[in-house]
Amino acid sequence: MSKPRRKKGRNISGWVVLDKPAGMGSTEAVSKVKWLYRAEKAGHAGTLDPLASGMLPIALGEATKTVPYVMDGAKIYRFTVAWGEERATDDLEGGATATSADRPTEAQIRALLPKYTGVIMQVPPQFSAIKIDGERAYDIARAGETVEIAAREIEIGRLDIVELPDEGHTTFEVECGKGTYVRSLARDMGRDLGCYGHVSDLRRELVEPFETDDLVTVAELEAAAGIVRNPDGTETRPDPDETPTAFGALDELLVDTVVALDSLPEIPLGDDAAQKVRLGNPVIVRGRDAPVEAADAFATQRGKLVAIGSVEAGMFKPRRVFTA
Question: pLDDT tens, 197-242?
Answer: 999 999 999 999 999 999 999 999 999 988 877 787 777 766 655 5
Q: With contact defined as beta carbons under 8 Å apart, do 42 and 60 qualify?
A: yes
In order of start, what are the domains of the chain with their CATH numbers? 14-72+210-251 (3.30.2350.10), 75-207 (3.30.2350.10), 264-321 (2.30.130.10)
- Cβ burial 260-286 (10 Å sphere, 16+ → b, else e): bbeebbbbbbeeebbebbbeeebbebe
pLDDT of amino acid 246: 66
What pLDDT, in 10s, does the model give residues 288-304?
A: 778 889 999 999 999 99
As a whole number of angstroms, the distance between CA 59 and CA 261 comes to: 13
Single pTM value for the model: 0.89
Q: Which residues of the chain have pLDDT under 70?
A: 1-7, 127-141, 143-145, 237-246, 324
Query: Which residue(s) pair with 87 in the sheet?
Result: 96
Amino acid at position 75, single letter: K
Give the pLDDT score at 291.
Answer: 86
Which of 129, 54, 130, 126 shows the shortest CA–CA distance to 90? Answer: 126
Helix, strand, coil shares of the chain, percent, nearest 5, are: 25, 35, 40
pLDDT at residue 11, rounded to an integer: 87
Active-site residue set: 49
85, 77 contact by CB (below 8 A): no
